[in-house]
Amino acid sequence: VKVNVSQPVADIQPTMWGVFFEDINFGADGGIYAEMVKNRSFEFYRPLMGWSVQGKKNTEGTILVENRQEKDTRNPRFLRVATNNTNKGDLGLTNEGFRGMGIKNGLRYDFSVMYRTQASNAKLHVELLNAKGEPIGQTTLPLNQSDNNWHKQAVSFNATATEPKGKMNVWFEGTGVIDLDMISLFPEDTWKKRPGGMRADMIQMLADMKPGFVRFPGGCIVEGFDLDQRYQWKKTIGPLEERQLVINRWNFEFAHRPTPDYFQTFGLGFFEYFQLCEDIGAEPLPILNCGMACQFNTAELVPLEQLDPYVQDAVDLIEFANGDASTPWGKVRASLGHPKPFNLKLLGVGNENWGPQYIDRLAIFQKAIKAKYPDMKLVCSSGTDPNGERFDYLNGKLRDMKADLIDEHYYRRPEWFLENARRYDNYDRNGSKIFAGEWAAQSDKTVSVNNKNNWLCALSEAAFMTGLERNAAVVNMASYAPLFANADAWQWTPDLIWVDNLRVYGTPNYYVQKLYSLNKGTHTLKMTQNNEPLAGQDSLYASAAWDKATSEVILKVANVSDKTQTRQIQLDGAKKLDPKGKLTLLKNDNLDAVNSFENATNVSPVDQTIPVDARKKTVALTLAPKSFSVVR
Ligand code: AHR
């Protein structure tokens, strides 16, 4: 096998390997958003979803939910508690959390609430409970202001035990009416210790991948089950109590395990997503609704002549991200604590949209955005049918429109990934580039609840990705999907990273993605066996890259066969070689092997040193059966 080291073929974009984030499988609420209280503002479909009323039988007191719809359309409901000489244990509420609350011994918890009262002696008693209902942390919060105006008050306390399925009690003390809203609990150990922030262990998994981009906020939630429930970024910024929640589109029939208590509270909104990208050094890639609801459900469309507000949202988003503080939306960003621009370069219009309706709408967006921001790269959808007519139609149209990036999705069987390792070998290098925006090998079938993140799927993805890398001249971005799943509340499998309330583990697929991202290189190199790319011969799939920054050659080889294979790699044109190379090996003899909470690194990479013949400029590779090797 020859690698031509002296003549790099094409640039590998810094954005090549990224992540796709969506609030599916409790990805945001109940996932990376570290809020522990479910339905903190009583706006879920049933006002007391997630809450249960506690108290002694003959307590004189009531708990009601009031609705100030006329005055506040964004956060209309609040809790009205009538107390009468009430003490701790007489009247209260329990919050069940998102499939329980993960509580850690010794950790500080920050409780906060908005309240309004005239009672001078009103107090809240907050208790964390273990699964048996025993207290494992408590505090008291006197409600200091009795002027009958809304106030926010907070108190912190420490947990005294670890519990994966905890709960929280709030007991009411006093005499008089106490109104309450936005009852919230966050752990101290959020990402970057930001109050009200994200779950650090989950974000660390992303940071460790060093992704080139983060695509957000989805997925189908961008489109919405209907247009009313589409994702609207302007409703996700600013004070939390003003962010109007919507029912999560993954509550509905397309979800194979519907969770009726799944809402998007937008505690995590566009500002936080941009901030996350900045934190982990990834390019932000927001995707916006194009005036079409999810085509797998309704085909609800905005008439072309009424598309303006949608287009305006896109234009304003660019100003929000990049404008200076003298611009209206730049000023909003600055007021949220980020005077510097976020430097947005990529913007998606539409998720999985298709048909002439999509093209018509996209054309309007494209014209308006390019007129004001000619350098903004637009990501355009080509849907979910990578070998079908719908795809051909869109691909043709999008190329005619000079789309910057075409977003292809493929959720297919492992065989498809092997068969498609040469998918991009003959793609036109001129014009539109490819964003392989959502894909994952399906061990059973697409959106089957039986799909597993097994080694077969991960290995076939590793093999396929050699083809993406080899074709970096046309494939500029790629991301596996979906990213996160809560083991107790998922709707879609397979997923890259699984979590419960206290734990997180990466799947074999995660390690494949991470290996590609951490061994990206800056240029592709020609790698051939008998003048052909190594893409399936003897079940070997390979690609080669050059890393300009470190002067290293990087080889990636997937051996999908069940036999050990050897290959002598000739590094043609290499000037000087280190006699030692580094091999990172990901392998398992069992194609059905998976990782789990209990065995999180069952399939995970191991490093070793291998000899390089610096004089002959060769390296001999012994490729283990069912393995993926990365050699530097
Ligand atoms: O990744 C899960 C879903 O798959 C996404 O929301 C959608 O874009 C695709 O159909």
Which residue, of 466, 493, 520, is where some domain finishes?
Answer: 493
Distance 433 CA to ligand 1 centre (A): 21
Q: In this structure, is residue 564 part of a structural domain? A: no
Which residue, of 187, 220, 240, is where some domain finishes?
Answer: 187
- Band (pLDDT 50/70/90 cuts) for residue 252 is low
What backbone phi and psi angles, to 5 degrees, belong to 336? -85, 0
Q: So which residues are the catalytic ones? A: 352
pLDDT number for residue 69 = 86
- Other Cβ atoms within 10 Å of 180 Cβ, number: 21
Are residues 303 and 421 both part of a single domain? Answer: yes
Region 351-360: mean pLDDT is 94
Whether the CA torsion 21, 22, 25, 28 is positive or negative: it is: positive
- Kind plus residue range of the DSSP H or E element containing 220: helix 220-223
Region of poorest pLDDT, from 46-55, 159-168, 250-259, 567-576: 250-259
Distance 297 CA to ligand 1 centre (A): 13
Contact 159, 185 (CB under 8 A): no
pLDDT number for residue 308 = 98
CA distance 306 to 363: 14
Mutate to test the pocket of ligand 1, among 19, 216, 220 (most ligand atoms within 8 A of CB): 220
Region 400-407: mean pLDDT is 96
Atom of ligand 1 nearest to the CA of 296: 10
The C-alpha angle 573, 9, 391, rounded to 5 degrees, equals 150
Q: In this structure, is residue 270 part of a structural domain? A: yes
Distance 24 CA to ligand 1 centre (A): 9
pLDDT number for residue 256 = 62
Place of tokens 């046309």: 474
Region 80-97: mean pLDDT is 96
Contact 561, 539 (CB under 8 A): yes
Percent of the chain at pLDDT exceeding 70:
99
Q: Which amino acid is at 113?
A: V
Are residues 217 and 107 both part of a single domain? Answer: no
Query: CATH number, domain at 220?
Result: 3.20.20.80
Atom of ligand 1 nearest to the CA of 351: 8
Distance 352 CA to ligand 1 centre (A): 8
Q: In this structure, is residue 203 part of a structural domain? A: no
Are residues 340 and 465 both part of a single domain? Answer: yes
Q: In this structure, is residue 504 part of a structural domain? A: no
DSSP sequence for 403-445: -SEEEEEEEE-HHHHHHTTTTTTTS-SSS-EEEEEEEEE-SSS
Residue with the larger pLDDT of the pair 72 and 588:
588
Length of the chain, please? 632
pLDDT number for residue 58 = 76
Mutate to test the pocket of ligand 1, among 438, 448, 496 (most ligand atoms within 8 A of CB): 438
pLDDT at 333 over 80: yes
Mean pLDDT of the chain: 96
Are residues 216 and 182 both part of a single domain? Answer: no
- The protein residue with its alpha carbon nearest to ligand 1, atom 7, reads 219
Are residues 164 and 218 both part of a single domain? Answer: no
Are residues 307 and 454 both part of a single domain? Answer: yes
Region 398-409: mean pLDDT is 96
- Band (pLDDT 50/70/90 cuts) for residue 151 is very high
Are residues 222 and 136 both part of a single domain? Answer: no
pLDDT tens readout for residues 560-586: 999 999 999 999 999 999 999 999 999
Instruction: Quote the domain boundaries for residue 170.
Output: 51-187
DSSP sequence for 69-94: TTT-SSS-EEEEEEEEEE-TTTEEEE
CB 407 less than 6 A from any atom of ligand 1: no
DSSP assigned state of 12: P
Q: In this structure, is residue 334 part of a structural domain? A: yes
How many domains are contained in the chain?
Answer: 2
pLDDT number for residue 299 = 76
CB 482 less than 6 A from any atom of ligand 1: yes
CB 351 less than 6 A from any atom of ligand 1: yes
Mutate to test the pocket of ligand 1, among 20, 21, 24, 484 (most ligand atoms within 8 A of CB): 24
pLDDT number for residue 393 = 85
What backbone phi and psi angles, to 5 degrees, belong to 617? 60, 50
pLDDT at 57 over 90: no
pLDDT number for residue 593 = 98
pLDDT tens readout for residues 207-219: 999 999 999 999 9
pLDDT number for residue 405 = 97
Q: Write the ipTM.
A: 0.99
Mutate to test the pocket of ligand 1, among 295, 409, 448, 495 (most ligand atoms within 8 A of CB): 409
pLDDT at 323 over 60: yes
pLDDT at 532 over 70: yes
Region 124-141: mean pLDDT is 98
Atom of ligand 1 nearest to the CA of 482: 1
Q: In this structure, is residue 479 part of a structural domain? A: yes
CA distance 309 to 312: 5
Region of poorest pLDDT, from 45-59, 262-276, 578-592: 45-59
Whether the CA torsion 375, 376, 378, 379 is positive or negative: it is: positive
CB 217 less than 6 A from any atom of ligand 1: no
Residue ranges in 281-413 assigned as alpha helix (H): 308-322, 328-335, 355-372, 389-400
Which residue, of 468, 493, 518, is where some domain finishes?
Answer: 493
CB 492 less than 6 A from any atom of ligand 1: yes
Place of tokens 């969506």: 22
pLDDT tens readout for residues 489-505: 999 999 999 999 999 99
Are residues 372 and 261 both part of a single domain? Answer: yes
pLDDT tens readout for residues 512-526: 999 999 999 999 999
Distance 219 CA to ligand 1 centre (A): 5
CA distance 507 to 30: 20
Query: CATH number, domain at 160?
Result: 2.60.120.260
pLDDT number for residue 136 = 98
pLDDT number for residue 386 = 78
pLDDT number for residue 140 = 98
Atom of ligand 1 nearest to the CA of 411: 4
Are residues 268 and 332 both part of a single domain? Answer: yes
What backbone phi and psi angles, to 5 degrees, belong to 227? -65, -25
CA-wise closest residue to 348 among 414, 410, 293, 285: 285
Q: In this structure, is residue 419 part of a structural domain? A: yes
The residues, any chain, with a CB within 8 Å of residue 239's CB and separated by 6 or more, are: none
Region 83-92: mean pLDDT is 94
Distance 384 CA to ligand 1 centre (A): 9
pLDDT number for residue 395 = 86
Q: In this structure, is residue 341 part of a structural domain? A: yes
Are residues 76 and 151 both part of a single domain? Answer: yes
- Band (pLDDT 50/70/90 cuts) for residue 56 is confident
Are residues 168 and 71 both part of a single domain? Answer: yes
Distance 351 CA to ligand 1 centre (A): 8
Place of tokens 């065995």: 599
pLDDT at 152 over 80: yes
Are residues 326 and 178 both part of a single domain? Answer: no
